[in-house]
Structure 1
Amino acid sequence: MRMRTLIIIPAYNEEGSIAQVIGDIREHAPYVDIVVVNDGSKDRTEAIARAAGAEVITMPFNVGIGGGMQTGYLYAYQNDYDVAVQMDADGQHRAEDLPRLLAAIQHSDLVIGSRYVEQTAYRSSASRRVGILFFSQLVSFVTGQRFTDTTSGFRAANRKVIALYASYYPADYPEVESIVYLKRRGCRLTEVPAQMRSREAGRSSITPLKSVYYMLKVTLSVLMSASRVRVRGVKTSG
């Protein structure tokens, strides 16, 4: 029996790519449902997504990736989906990789599509590679499990994780923190190889200044989470 699967696509001003992303999913995984979380876009993202056949949840204003993703997980939870898959609206994630994630989710709670678990043709800027390596090593150290691509937003979640993320999802730049959150709750996480493309249209919202903020904020959040776990595990004498 096929698992009921929902694709969650958070989108902010992605009118140039959203129709192609939805069409790609329909071509390679026609059995899934699609919901686009239109995060207060000021362009035609909502109208184009609806015309392409996706369900659309439109936020009254821009709430950010964390709020958008939690909205998608709430939708998945309330509509009783077995699996929810995060995909970007800019065309970087390939729908032909969906079967690999869906096969792996049968044995894990969260599956991450990684650009680096195997060598792929993906190339990024030097600064981005440094950030990916830094966070992957940080999370690997904190959790005791090796990760290669903690910033990847291409992920499949089972019912357990859907319920957890519907209850809580980190607000700003959540990919890294959300892994630590699940590990703290005893979830099984795994990575599978995934090819990724360059952005189809538009531009990233992460500026150099935001990148610095991102690294500092996420690092502190991860370390604080690790400290809370260790404090709870300390036994006092007397």
Structure 2
Amino acid sequence: MSDLLIVIPAYNEADNIEKVVRHLTEVCPDYDYIVVNDGSQDDTAEICRRNHFHLLDLPVNLGLAGGFQAGLRYAEKHGYRYAIQIDGDGQHRPEFIESMRKKMDEGYDIVIGSRFVDAEKPRTMRMFGSNLIELAIRLTTGMRIKDPTSGMRLFNRKMICEFAKGLNYGPEPDTVSYLIRCGARVAEVPVVMDERQGGVSYLTPIRSARYMFRMLVSILLIQSFRRRKV
């Protein structure tokens, strides 16, 4: 068994999941993985079973936070030292996992795969929202996270246990902001991400705007009332 688990949350990813897992196992054959099927309405689970992929099949849709936490609970239960989230839509390249792990071994609790360590953000409305979240995190923690909405995040054992056992711990910028305030050490590593390989993203422009607003309110206001120490 590897000491690193790759968690792949998947909801209606029948168009992508086979390609994602096969590429992952080719690039990272020494790492373990688990596909967390989050109550998909398509053939995601059936494709995983047919190909004998490692599968955690949730009977109902829990949403990204619930699916992610289920994966971290699996990692905690089975004693993994590291866990990383890789999206089931093919955007995250597993080629960068090793560099993220090496960075974590310098003493970090969370390592974020960042598109913008060495590059400027494009001038889009979505990146405008990312800039606002970046500013909110900087105002509340003093730390600059250049790619706060990146879903490619690596966690050490302490963070695995924190996410597995804590309530309302989603894989979102507000949780990262809260953990920084509690003393977690966070770093970014440059990565390249691809466009979604197939299917349709649930993030419509309206949902994206709501997401950005919710993150800003949470980081600037709600997280101030959380007092648990890491």
Bigger mean CA offset, 37-46 vs 213-222: 213-222
For residue 158 of structure 1, what is the aligned residue in structure 2?
Answer: 156
1:86 partner letter: Q
For residue 236 of structure 1, what is the aligned residue in structure 2?
Answer: none
SS in 2 for 1:113: strand
Matched, 1:141 2:139: yes
For residue 116 of structure 1, what is the aligned residue in structure 2?
Answer: 116
Which runs of structure 2 are paired with 1:51-66 in the superposition (5 Å)? 51-66=50-65
For residue 70 of structure 1, what is the aligned residue in structure 2?
Answer: 69
From 201, 212, 220, the equivalent of 1:223 is 220
Q: 1:52 to 1:130 in 2, by over 3 A?
A: farther
For residue 94 of structure 2, what is the aligned residue in structure 1?
Answer: 95
Which runs of structure 2 are paired with 1:1-238 in the superposition (5 Å)? 4-107=3-106, 108-119=108-119, 126-168=124-166, 170=168, 174-225=171-222, 227-228=224-225
Aligned residue pairs total: 227
How far is 1:142 from its partner? 1.2
2:37 partner letter: N
Q: TM-score, normalised by structure 1?
A: 0.88
Which runs of 5 or more structure 1 residues have no equivalent in the other structure? 233-238
2:176 partner letter: I
Distance 2:110 2:169 in 1: 19
Distance 1:124 1:10 in 2: 27
How far is 1:169 from its partner? 5.8
2:134 partner letter: S
| Kept after mapping to 1: 8 A contact 2:37/2:56 | yes
How far is 1:95 from its partner? 1.1
| Kept after mapping to 1: 8 A contact 2:36/2:67 | yes
How far is 1:203 from its partner? 1.2
SS in 2 for 1:34: strand
How far is 1:155 from its partner? 0.9
How far is 1:135 from its partner? 1.0
| Kept after mapping to 1: 8 A contact 2:2/2:30 | no
How far is 1:61 from its partner? 1.4
Q: Runs (4+) of structure 1 moved beyond 6 Å? A: none
SS in 1 for 2:221: helix
Distance 1:184 1:20 in 2: 38
Percentage of pairs with the same residue = 38
1:117 partner letter: V
1:88-135 deviation per Cα after TM superposition (whole angstroms, max 9, x unaligned): 000000011111111111121110000000128xx8671221122111
Q: 1:33 to 1:3 in 2, by over 3 A?
A: closer
Which runs of 5 or more structure 2 residues have no equivalent in the other structure? none
Q: TM-score, normalised by structure 2?
A: 0.91
2:116 partner letter: Y
| Kept after mapping to 2: 8 A contact 1:22/1:52 | no
2:114 partner letter: S
1:221 partner letter: S
Q: 1:124 to 1:67 in 2, by over 3 A?
A: farther
Question: What is the RMSD of the two structures over their aligned residues, measured on CA atoms?
Answer: 2.2
How far is 1:209 from its partner? 2.2
Distance 1:208 1:44 in 2: 26
